[in-house]
Amino acid sequence: MQMESINLVESFSEFKELKNIDRPTMMIIVEDVFRNMLLKKYGSADNFDIIVNIDKGDLEVWRNRVIVEDGAVEDPNQEIEYSEAIMIEPDFEIGEDVSEPVKLSDFGRREILSIRQNLATKVLELEKDSVYKKYQERVGELITAEVYQVWKKELLALDDENIELMLPKTEQIPSDRFHKGDTVRAVVARVEIKNNNPVIILSRTSNVFLERLFEQEVPEVHDGLITIKKIVRAPGERAKVAVESYDDRIDPVGACVGMKGSRIHGIVRELRNENIDVINFTSNPTLYISRALSPAKITSINIDEANKRAEVFLKPDQVSMAIGKGGFNIKLAGSLTGYEIDVYRDTDQDSEDVDIQEFADEIEQWIIDEFKLVGLDTAKSILNQSLKDLVLRVDLEEETIKEVLSILKAEFE
């Protein structure tokens, strides 16, 4: 029996469009709404069978009653008189069950309206719930969406299922400029509930966004061969990324930067020309701090482990580079390493000091480069360090360092 209400059939076809609700759930909702209606109308709904067919958009409701003798009906919803039952089917007997279809015309116009409203409300709640759950599971994921509307404080984007996503101004890179129809990439930062509706917040300033871009551009990071140990960012200005590889054959910095900067270039472009320093992570604080301050070259470092402070000495022409434009370089180096960094001009540069490069005929170039890498680029800057410190700081064998020291000492004797 088709329910003769075009309205309900229409409702069904509307509901069928909903991507986020599966059929079984939809059928349960429809059945629930009808059961409640029957309960209101007849005082009990246990003796009704409700058969829902979402695909066809129809619904059958059957009422089951027991046949009793005429005049013995106590509950007209559960029982039917014998004389009434044989009008439905002549060979019925007392004690048997009768099933009759309930027509929609048995319900009043207001009841039908109420059924429709209840259905719509329940479906809407489910929709919200499924959007919330779906995006709750996607927090931290990189997504691409289309900009739908741009306001002063935020923009609205739509994903491929037309779910609304918000990108507040505070989560945009300062030089971001978007227009309707643009594609925007961001990470899902969080899902909030406002006025009973799920609000999905995106971010382009979060460190996770930069991490996801590295995973996308650098296969070794995606595959876990290179680990990103820590990221610090001043969005749109500068970022420092400490990377480490557990495979000695992989140079983590080289892999992240790519041939002629090919890999990092895509990330820099996406971040509106944010400068990205990729450095090798190390648990040696002196080495870590000198790497973190790149591109500045350091002469020497004194570390106060107890107070997590570091005094860094640099040649006068390196000081402004260490501090960086707007102080971002030194601030980020501090955040990355966890040390409060103080920068000093190394003015007591000895006039008799000799640049280490001048020993190229006695010391192999790769060894000279290792010293330069940690900011030791003059003979005295190396001789002023103890052997123990040098072994910790420079990535060379103790024997090699001893040989270098004896060559340098000879120069000043």
pLDDT digit string, tens, across residues 360-371: 888 999 999 988
Each domain of the chain, given as residue ranges in start order, spans 6-133, 139-203, 206-274, 356-412
Counting residues of the chain whose pLDDT is more than 90, the rounded percentage is 53
| pLDDT tens digit sequence for 107-125 | 778 887 888 888 888 888 8
Q: Give the pLDDT mean for 273-298.
A: 94
For the record, the structure tokens of 64 come out as: 């089951």
**Beta 164-168 vs 275-280: how paired, if at all?**
unpaired
pLDDT at 19 over 60: no
The dihedral built from the CA positions of residue 174, 177, 180 and 183, taken in this order, carries a sign that is negative
- How far, in Å, CA of 333 to CA of 318, rounded? 15
pLDDT at 338 over 80: yes
Range with the poorest average pLDDT among 184-188, 206-210, 391-395:
391-395
Give 143-159 as a DSSP string. Answer: EEEEEEEE-SSEEEEE-
Q: Quickly name the fold that domain 206-274 has.
A: GMP Synthetase; Chain A, domain 3 (3.30.300)
The class level of CATH for 6-133 reads alpha beta
**Residue 231 contacts residue 240 (beta carbons within 8 Å):** yes
**Residues recorded for the chain:** 413
**Residue 180 contacts residue 149 (beta carbons within 8 Å):** yes
Largest CA distance in the chain: 130
Question: How does the average pLDDT of the chain come out, rounded?
Answer: 88
| pLDDT tens digit sequence for 146-202 | 999 999 999 999 999 999 999 999 999 999 999 999 999 999 999 999 998 999 999
47: closest CA among 102, 92, 93?
102
pLDDT at 347 over 70: no
pLDDT of residue 147: 98
pLDDT at 346 over 90: no
Give 60-113 as a DSSP string. Answer: EEEEEEEEE-TT--S-TTTEEEHHHHHHH-TT--TT-EEEEEPPGGGS-HHHHH
- How far, in Å, CA of 385 to CA of 404, rounded? 13
pLDDT at 1 over 70: no
258: exposed, middle or buried (Cβ count in 10 Å: 0-12, 13-18, 19+):
middle
pLDDT at 2 over 70: no
For the record, the structure tokens of 119 come out as: 């259905």
Architecture per CATH, 139-203? Beta Barrel (2.40)
pLDDT at 358 over 90: no
pTM for this one? Answer: 0.67
- How far, in Å, CA of 124 to CA of 33, rounded? 14
The dihedral built from the CA positions of residue 262, 266, 271 and 273, taken in this order, carries a sign that is positive
| Cis peptide bond prior to 219, omega within 30° of 0 | no
| pLDDT tens digit sequence for 66-97 | 999 998 889 988 999 998 899 888 888 899 99
pLDDT at 7 over 50: no
pLDDT of residue 113: 83
pLDDT of residue 149: 97
Work out the pLDDT band at 5, boundaries 50, 70, 90: very low
What is the CATH number that goes with domain 356-412? 1.10.150
**C-alpha distances in Å from residue 25, one per residue of 183, 196, 241, 259:** 34, 21, 46, 53
pLDDT of residue 54: 66
